[in-house]
């Protein structure tokens, strides 16, 4: 029984079919096939463009021009942090609950460019609130960098409120959304989030090596590409022996892309997005939330210690369970065919996917009932 989509989505037949479609299109070398600079041709160009459009729809109706295709969450966060024109004395704010894909780029910015990285400390080792983060914000704060849903605990931040505060203070908000996209609505346009980075092998039902970065216009126009690479926007200029690099459109997120894209992965992301949007994110969220309600109530009745808040607004699709011997607990569930995660060496993380059913949850609770370690 697969209850581990917070780690990965475990694949599907539709991904195999999408991969086969890519290989068919890639191998098409018949006369008249349209090429674009050698990187992509024919149908591939159309699938890439349509995938940007679907991402834009997923984020609440943003402009596809604001979407850069990347490899993963970490790459997107690095692109923003390293490409932004920080000045001496600037700082950024993050927190101690972040995944290394968020916290490492923040600390690396401090090491490479001298931008102070302020790490807010969660009082309970779980919650990350706008109030907590705002204690570290001052007049020299340029960005807040945070996860919408924490990987370790499943805690869901009030992103709309944080975005409101950041807008009012003139602070940019950069969000890791890998644990929320595909599971719950993310209205980047309506909430005014400045940047969202994600990989797509979890809730977006794609495969590894595929991700995207969304940047709002004001932030995007300030970013210079971290990767000097052949893409749709960058060019080399030689004026009388004076060599330089030019960007044709500072407001086009494709300037941030690192040369050849993962076309096969994009085909699979395209297929995943089509399925998610056809069902509807609101419907998916309601389905997942209902199953998590059953799981939460059942585990609580059995005496399990859940650190994820019971409030629906502060959780998403995963629950973190504390056990005295977490390794033994993890091996117990795995040995009985219930696939969960060992989270940060501290919790058993049980996560619900769009494709899980009430029967899955009831079977998992049957296994949990017989566990002697709780």
Q: What is the pLDDT of residue 43?
A: 87
Q: Buried b / exposed e across 309-319, counting CB within 10 Å, b at 16+?
A: beeeebbbbbb
Cα–Cα dist 53/22, whole Å: 18
Enumerate the domain spans of the chain.
Answer: 13-278, 280-369
Q: How far apart are CA 238 and CA 245, in angstroms?
A: 9
Q: What is the pLDDT of residues 257-289, one digit of tens each?
A: 998 899 999 999 999 999 999 999 999 999 999
Sign of CA dihedral 147, 149, 151, 153: positive
CA distance 56 to 113: 32
Check residue 225 and report its DSSP letter.
P
Please give the pLDDT value at position 34: 55
DSSP annotation of 311 reads: S
Q: Between 1.10.3720.10, 3.10.450.30, 3.30.70.270, 3.90.1150.10, what CATH number should domain 280-369 receive?
A: 3.90.1150.10
pLDDT in tens, 126-147: 999 999 999 999 999 999 999 9
Is it true that 13-278 and 280-369 share their CATH fold?
no
pLDDT at 33: 53
Euclidean distance between CA atoms 37 and 41, whole angstroms = 9
Q: Are 253 and 213 in contact (CB under 8 A)?
A: yes
pLDDT digits (tens, 9 = 90+) for 41-93: 678 989 999 999 999 999 999 999 999 999 999 999 999 999 999 999 999 99
Cβ burial of 227 (10 Å; 0-12, 13-18, 19+) is middle
Residues 102-116 as b or e (16 or more Cβ within 10 Å = b) = bbebbeebeeeeebe
Confidence of residue 35 (pLDDT cuts 50, 70, 90): low
Look up residue 14 and give its two tokens.
Answer: 């539709």
Residues 6+ apart with CB under 8 A from 64: 49, 52, 53, 55, 56
Specify whether the CB–CB gap between 295 and 350 falls below 8 A: yes
pLDDT at 36 over 60: no
- pLDDT grade for 153, boundaries at 50, 70 and 90: very high
Q: Say how far apart CA 369 and CA 68 lie, in whole Å.
A: 46
Distance CA 256, CA 224 (A): 8
Per-residue pLDDT tens over the stretch 11-27: 889 999 999 999 998 88
Instruction: Domain 13-278: state its class.
Output: alpha beta
- pLDDT at position 239 over 60: yes
């Amino acid at each position: 029984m697969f209850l581990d989509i917070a780690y990965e989505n475990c694949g599907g037949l539709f991904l195999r079919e999408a991969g086969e479609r890519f290989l068919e299109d890639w191998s098409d070398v018949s006369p008249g096939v349209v090429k674009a600079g050698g990187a992509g041709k024919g149908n591939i160009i159309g699938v890439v463009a349509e995938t940007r459009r679907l991402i834009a729809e997923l984020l609440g109706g943003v402009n596809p021009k604001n979407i850069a295709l990347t490899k993963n969450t970490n790459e997107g966060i690095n692109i923003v942090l390293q490409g932004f024109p920080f000045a001496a004395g600037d700082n950024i704010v993050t927190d101690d609950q972040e995944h290394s894909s968020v916290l490492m780029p923040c600390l690396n910015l401090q090491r490479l460019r001298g931008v102070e990285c302020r790490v807010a400390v969660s009082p309970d080792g779980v919650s990350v609130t706008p109030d907590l983060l705002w204690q570290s914000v001052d007049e020299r704060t340029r960005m807040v960098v945070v996860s919408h849903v924490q990987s370790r605990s499943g805690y869901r931040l009030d992103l709309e409120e944080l975005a409101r505060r950041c807008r009012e203070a003139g602070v940019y908000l950069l969000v890791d959304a890998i644990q929320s996209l595909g599971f719950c609505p993310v209205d980047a346009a309506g909430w005014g989030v400045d940047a969202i980075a994600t990989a797509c092998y979890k809730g977006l039902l794609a495969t590894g090596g595929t991700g995207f970065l969304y940047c709002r216009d004001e932030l995007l126009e300030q970013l210079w590409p971290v990767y000097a690479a052949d893409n749709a926007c960058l060019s080399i200029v030689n004026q009388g022996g004076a060599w330089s690099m030019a960007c044709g459109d500072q407001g086009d997120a494709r300037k941030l892309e690192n040369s050849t894209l993962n076309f096969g992965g994009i085909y699979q992301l395209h297929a995943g997005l089509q399925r998610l949007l056809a069902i509807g994110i609101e419907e998916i969220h309601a389905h997942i939330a209902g199953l998590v309600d059953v799981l939460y109530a059942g585990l609580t009745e059995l005496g399990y210690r859940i650190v994820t808040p019971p409030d629906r607004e502060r959780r998403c699709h995963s629950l973190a369970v504390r056990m005295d011997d977490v390794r033994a607990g993890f091996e117990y569930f795995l040995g009985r065919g219930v696939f969960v995660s060992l989270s940060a060496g501290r919790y058993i993380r049980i996560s619900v996917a769009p494709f899980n059913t009430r029967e899955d949850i009831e079977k998992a609770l049957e296994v949990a009932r017989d566990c002697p370690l709780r």
